[in-house]
Structure 1
């Protein structure tokens, strides 16, 4: 996968793109991640990329020329059409399902805005997606872009050491993830559940699924309305509700 990020602050991405899972993915050449300062594409002597909004109002608005020019330069000569993603609080709320969808793409371009907003022509005639990471406003699109990139790259084949990790993550199955335990089997007076040290894989899988149902019902019950449970899982859920 190739990822290009258009930003006024490329230095913000240096540590993120070279550390942890993202850094290892780059080392394995499973992904290339580039930052592009779209100020370099301004067409005026002061290198400004924003201007006052028509009609008045507070704040400054990003001009269309440098954004279009940067995207056209990045995509010049390419045979494929990349997904061009505008990070914006007005966008579709980012989810694990969206991360899985984007992880199947060959090329992603992220546009990170600042100031009051974007010239509307960027939305209408350039981008393919608008994404938000939540119902709040940040200074710019850089931090949201980092979140989305991290979420997408970890899903690429070969990125994680254990290929099942991403499959069982919270939200990947529609439910929250089950509890995890590791050594020692007893810490202070708290012991690992017997089923996990039993060696019976069928019982372990059943315990984990029940725990996912329990945790989802307690913490995020609205998620249960979005997934289709099997008759057995529905029975477990009813038992959980009665016991609680």
Structure 2
């Protein structure tokens, strides 16, 4: 296992040093302080595993991971490292494409066991769980394509974005006012429509935000809403660049 190499991504100097001290007992490593550095490094080096802190400034860990999945030529498992340990958060992260969630505060024994388990996987196993879901669910898209032309489908997705933009303003206002029922109502609409259209990441984040709103977990909800808005930007760019929608 000493031949393996891990990329540690954490903006907090103390957390990063702690992880470095643990990882050096298993294998080699490199570490970076920001999401931008992580994207650049992951595009240049074939790491066996990436440990990704989610709460980073400028570019958070989820956005960083999604960028790596899109840009890196290498298939590499990514473990989320986060203070969010609720079951629904773990489920959402796994659905996004993360291999596992390690909760803070880090417990050395559990941490080393989790990392060792993944590093000891075969290359085929790593490839199978390191690929995140497509931006648009392929099965849903194929079903919709049976009854709609590509032009009509593109129009539906654009209408979805326009509706999203209208609802997100209402959601933000309700969030500021801690208006639970309004939040649930509008998040449920986004969740339902994104699920119908197979818009995977927006469905995942709106589902998580819906659960957090019901639990009145305002701090975690704020982060989930930021990620939801970021996914809207990614999806809009996808529609503009994907060749199937722009022959």
- Greater helix share, structure number: 2
Larger Rg: 1
State the TM-score, normalized to the length of structure 1: 0.30
- Greater strand share, structure number: 1
State the TM-score, normalized to the length of structure 2: 0.29
